């Protein structure tokens, strides 16, 4: 994802990767890759990549939580999958349908791909992206 963002925002000087404080997000490989990319950034015309991890217990600031909360409501909550593989398949299908619709209508995805979230999928200090009803 970092490489895609570097290309997409090539006209910027700096891009920031943000994530919540989940232990699996603290990857030595990620930081090593960021260092490699930043060493070549100026010579190849890419932006510098900086980390902006969110504080522990602040998942509500993580805009991706809006997307995951919407998926959880649509696919997981009030469901009774007889097997884990069926639940995984339903989650995959949910995101495949969202992504396919966006690819088909990239400028008009709007309400189909987004808009089902409790909060807007954008950073704002007062925006609580995590659905407070679910942990």
Q: Greater confidence, 60 or 82? A: 82
Counts of helices then strands in the chain (DSSP H, E): 5, 2
Answer yes or no: is pLDDT of 109 > 50: no
3-state DSSP assignment of residue 37: helix
Which letter does DSSP use for residue 29 in this model?
H
Which has the higher per-residue pLDDT, 105 or 125?
105
Query: Full-prediction pTM beyond 0.85?
Result: no
In 3D, which of 79, 76, 60, 71 has the Cα closest to residue 116? 71
Please give the share of the chain, as a percent, with pLDDT higher than 90.
Answer: 33
Name every residue whose Cβ is closer than 8 Å to that of residue 48 and which is 6 or more positions away in sequence. Answer: 13, 14, 15, 38, 41
Q: How confident is the model at residue 28 (pLDDT cuts 50, 70, 90)?
A: confident
Nearest CA to 116 out of 61, 62, 72 is that of 72
């Amino acid at each position: 994802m970092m490489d895609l963002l570097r290309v997409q925002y090539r006209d910027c000087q700096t891009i920031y990767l943000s994530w919540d404080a989940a232990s699996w997000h603290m990857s030595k490989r990620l930081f090593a890759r960021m260092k490699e990319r930043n060493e070549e950034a100026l010579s190849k015309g890419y932006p510098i990549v900086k980390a902006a991890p969110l504080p522990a217990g602040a998942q509500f600031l993580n805009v991706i939580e809006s997307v995951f909360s919407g998926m959880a409501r649509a696919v997981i909550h009030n469901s009774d999958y007889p097997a884990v593989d069926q639940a995984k398949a339903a989650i995959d299908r949910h995101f495949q349908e969202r992504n396919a619709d966006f690819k088909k209508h990239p400028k008009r995805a709007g309400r189909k791909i987004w808009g089902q979230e409790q909060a807007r999928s954008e950073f704002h200090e007062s925006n609580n992206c995590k659905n407070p009803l679910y942990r």
